[in-house]
A = this chain, B = another copy of it.
Amino acid sequence: MKARVAIRYRPGVLDPEARAIEKALANLGFTGVRGVARTRIIELELEAADREAAEAEVRRMSEELLANPVIETYSVTIADR
């Protein structure tokens, strides 16, 4: 089964890499950029009894390892098959 976790910073949390990209783009002459945000996507191929079991498992993975719930939010999508 394929699962996809999308991880973003919570609103108000500073993303230093996004700020660095913003500055670097301005320095390269891309002056039309008004904002930069990043999302990390982690795709998992996993064995699970069914979609519900897969989703529960991936939520545990997200809480324990993939995301930092203090500063990040995550959403889980289970693909068919």
Contact = CB atoms under 8 A, between A and B. Distances in A.
A48 to B, nearest CB: 6
Interface of A: 6, 18, 21, 24-25, 28, 30, 32-48, 57, 60-61, 64-66
Contacts of A60: 30
A64 B28 contact: yes
A25 to B, nearest CB: 6
A81 B2 CA distance: 32
Contact of A46 (B32, B41, B47): B32
Contacts of A38: 40-43
Given A6-B41, A21-B65, A28-B65, 7 more contacts: A24-B65, A25-B61, A25-B65, A35-B44, A35-B45, A36-B43, A38-B40
